[in-house]
Amino acid sequence: MVRVGVVGATGYAGAELVRILAGHPRVTLSTLVSRQYADVPFDAVYPALTGLVDTACTSLSVEAVCETADLIFLALPHKVPMSIVPELMRQGKRVIDLSADFRFRNAAAYEAFYQPHTAPELLARAVYGLSEINRDAICGADLIGNPGCYPTSILLPLVPLAREKLIQASGIVADSKSGVSGAGRTAAVASMYCEITESFKAYKVADHRHNPEIDEVLGRAFQQQVHLTFVPHLVPMSRGMLSTVYATLADGVDTRQVADCLAAQYDASPFVRLLPEDRLPETRFVRGTNYCDIAFRIDADNRRLILVSAIDNLVKGAAGQAVQNMNLMLGWEETLGLDGLPFPV
């Protein structure tokens, strides 16, 4: 058994990590760090886990974490991880960071949207943890920058097509819709039930932090600079994310080529489901799972390709993909601990 720790265990992504890891057959959850709930049993914060995970949370001590865990997940707000990770690496730990701190190769791109990077020397060592796209690099990595949920849902359908240049690099629009858990567990009026239920909105229109992450990865795939138009929306549901991505087909490309390209990329990937032609993704179909469901249609008159992808923002968009990456890093079956079946309803 590998001893793992979760730092930031009581946020939504952290708690989802706890759920998955507590059921994982080859790890022991040795440490749960939560500043806010230090000394409180985890199941007092999340009573769903009463009797199942009753470990008390601890406050953050890098030393203590290093003593008790071999692999550490960080589910913390941006900026905190880069202050901890250098020491964890020195101690020979493997680290999977769910924040943006280690997602960029280019410190400048990070700094343009966040703050000065205090551990830029680690960026070259960190691997961007989009499992299906970077599987080989992840297998050999000891530091993972786990992708954001929006980038995951947008990049999985786009990257294979971009690499093959089946679509044009310019003019891509990603219209994404997220459940509320993406906003985290911090109490805020805007996240209250009465402000969310039975309503729908766009937010941070043409002003979202995930853009540089998407642009960087997509630019590498296209081998040219890319700037896609991205608008996030909020859906009255707790979990789930659906992205509708509009791209222009390259000259001469047809339906078959798109289908073949996606199949070639994903047929051996257990967590990407390319849906049969007559189905479209719904977020409930992937709820609680690590799947990314993908379908596409072509608006022939405009030669526009419409890709639709659905993930659970807390699983494939955060904790699940992090565990998938752990499995890859440790040479285990990719699906270990992630094979719970989706609920029919």
- As annotated, the active-site residues are 149
Please report whether residue 189 would count as binding its own copies according to CB under 8 A.
Answer: yes
Interface with its own copies in residues 281-300 (CB under 8 A): 281-288, 293, 295, 297-299
Cβ closer to its own copies: 217 or 315?
Answer: 315
Please report whether residue 231 would count as binding its own copies according to CB under 8 A.
Answer: yes
Cβ closer to its own copies: 82 or 253?
Answer: 253
Q: Could you say which of 139, 306, 330, 336 contacts its own copies (CB under 8 A)?
A: 306
Interface with its own copies in residues 3-42 (CB under 8 A): 12, 15-16, 18-19, 22-23
Q: Could you say which of 242, 261, 311, 338 contacts its own copies (CB under 8 A)?
A: 242
Q: Could you say which of 308, 311, 322, 323 contacts its own copies (CB under 8 A)?
A: 308
Please report whether residue 185 would count as binding its own copies according to CB under 8 A.
Answer: yes
d(CA 130, CA 163) in angstroms, rounded, equals: 15
Sheet harboring 27-33: ordered strands across? Answer: 27-33, 2-7, 71-74, 94-97, 143-145, 127-128
Angle at the Cα of 195 (from 191 to 198), degrees rounded to 5?
Answer: 115
Q: Nearest distance from residue 86's CB to its own copies, in Å?
A: 30
Cβ closer to its own copies: 90 or 204?
Answer: 204
Please report whether residue 264 would count as binding its own copies according to CB under 8 A.
Answer: no
Please report whether residue 134 would count as binding its own copies according to CB under 8 A.
Answer: no
Please report whether residue 255 would count as binding its own copies according to CB under 8 A.
Answer: no
Stretch that binds its own copies, among 43-51, 76-84, 255-263, 328-336 (CB under 8 A): 43-51
Q: Which two tokens stand for residue 17?
A: 């990590």
Please report whether residue 203 would count as binding its own copies according to CB under 8 A.
Answer: yes
Q: Which two tokens stand for residue 186?
A: 């911090």
d(CA 319, CA 23) in angstroms, rounded, equals: 13
Interface with its own copies in residues 46-75 (CB under 8 A): 46-52
Stretch that binds its own copies, among 69-77, 140-148, 158-166, 187-195 (CB under 8 A): 187-195
Residue from 175, 172, 169 nearest 243 by CA: 175
Where b means 16+ CB within 10 Å and e means fewer, 250-277 reads beebeeeebeebbeebbeebebbbbeee
Other beta carbons less than 10 A from residue 306's beta carbon: 15
The DSSP code sequence of 290-322 is --EEEEEEEEGGGTEEEEEEEE-TTIIIIIHHH
